[in-house]
Amino acid sequence: MAIGILLVGGFGTRLKPLTNQTPKPMLPIGGLPVTEHQLLAAKKAGINTVILATSYLSEVFIPYFGDGSKWGMKLLYAVEKEPLGTGGAIRNAAAMVGFSQSSEDFVIFNGDVLSKHDIAAQLDFHKANSADATLHLIEVADARAFGCVPTDSVGRVTDFLEKMDNPITNDINAGCYVFSPSVISEIPEGKVISIERETFPQLVKSGRPVYGYREQSYWLDIGTPAALFRGSRDFVAGDFMAGVGTKIASDCIITGGSSIGAGSSIGTGSVITNSIVGDGVFIGDNCTITDSFILHNCQIASGTEIIGKYISPTENLPISTQ
Ligand code: GTP
């Protein structure tokens, strides 16, 4: 079976300040880190060994995921002292399982994507084409903000194009790739390499079999605060959801697809709208929390009003969720 690599080492600059203390892939969607949603999707596709390619705030992942046995998976951690870029990170992570002797394909996940596409079908498509690399492609209404990836009639990638005003296709790279082990050995070792800007264009230019697996299913890149909140609302799909052991006073009003983590407590008369609240958070009585992100283990005093804010145990900063 294939081996998974999750790219989770980026700085998450566009999500600041939410990523000041939490790496982007550990931000919660419906009470679970984005990475956990991805592990569950990988497992569903029969991928039981996954390497987390970490760098920024790498120490946050291991206490949460451990050796993966809680999920019935084997998890390994490849830590880059300095971020090696998406390509360098893949090479570094794959070395942990001796990719040069491996006959197994690698499935690489950008760690900031929620996708319900059929990973097993993407792997089958890769094998059926004897491809070197196969990318999941998604069609967007307006591709101007993305690089686009044209394919021919059998799905072979013909080019990798940078952002442009008149994209020639609306198919974009959805951030999940299958790689044959031979391709990984061609990524230079210990160097900063971008898979999107260097490896893929070079493979296509040199005529190697790179394919696009097109599937339209739920897909979201959670790279900005507005997108993260959209992903959370999509997951909640109702007024709100709350995790195990959370106590909510009966007269609280919680709406707007808010998500409350596990082991939290919300006092009488509090109103929470379009917000993400972490685990172990204490919110006192008569608080108003709107369009805000409250990190795990915060204490909010009774009567506090929080609008458009990121709150951690040590920070109180404005955010925009629109
Ligand atoms: P921005 O700073 O907001 O652009 O975010 P980012 O760099 O964290 O993410 P980007 O969208 O550029 O990268 C896609 C995925 O690759 C994310 O899940 C990142 O965590 C991951 N990633 C980016 N650069 C590196 C890196 O140098 N090393 C590792 N291990 N992962 C990376």
3-state helix, strand, coil in the chain (%, to 5): 25, 30, 45
pLDDT at site 322: 84
How many A from CA of 184 to the centre of ligand 1?
18
CA 262 to chain centre: 21
Closest Cα to atom 29 of ligand 1: 9
Kindly report the average pLDDT of the chain as a whole number: 96
Lowest mean pLDDT among 71-80, 92-101, 130-139: 92-101
Q: For residues 221-244, give the mean pLDDT.
A: 96
Q: For residues 186-205, give the mean pLDDT.
A: 94
Burial status of residue 265 (CB atoms within 10 A of its CB: 0-12, 13-18, 19 or more): middle
Q: For residues 297-305, give the mean pLDDT.
A: 98
> Are 32 and 75 in contact, with CB atoms under 8 Å apart?
no
Q: How confident is the model at residue 289 (pLDDT cuts 50, 70, 90)?
A: very high
pLDDT at site 147: 85
pLDDT at site 178: 97
Q: How confident is the model at residue 99 (pLDDT cuts 50, 70, 90)?
A: confident
227 pLDDT more than 80: yes
Closest Cα to atom 19 of ligand 1: 10
pLDDT at site 274: 97
Q: Assess whether the C-beta atom of 261 lies below 6 angstroms from ligand 1.
A: no
Q: Assess whether the C-beta atom of 114 lies below 6 angstroms from ligand 1.
A: no
pLDDT at site 103: 85
CA 275, CA 293: separation in Å to the nearest integer? Answer: 6
> Are 254 and 248 in contact, with CB atoms under 8 Å apart?
yes
100 pLDDT more than 80: no
The tokens describing 178, both together, are 């299958």
Percent of the chain with pLDDT over 90: 93
Q: Assess whether the C-beta atom of 224 lies below 6 angstroms from ligand 1.
A: no
Q: Assess whether the C-beta atom of 85 lies below 6 angstroms from ligand 1.
A: yes
How many A from CA of 194 to the centre of ligand 1?
10
101 pLDDT more than 80: no
pLDDT digits (tens, 9 = 90+) for 151-182: 999 999 999 988 889 999 999 999 999 999 99
How many A from CA of 110 to the centre of ligand 1?
7
318 pLDDT more than 80: yes
Where helices occur in the chain by DSSP H, the ranges are: 34-44, 61-65, 85-94, 119-128, 181-184, 200-205, 225-236
pLDDT digits (tens, 9 = 90+) for 36-91: 999 999 999 999 999 999 999 999 999 999 999 999 999 999 999 999 999 999 99
pLDDT at site 104: 92
User: Looking at residue 188, what DSSP letter applies?
Assistant: P
- Domains, the chain, ordered by start: 3-221 (3.90.550.10), 238-318 (2.160.10.10)
Percent of the chain with pLDDT over 70: 100
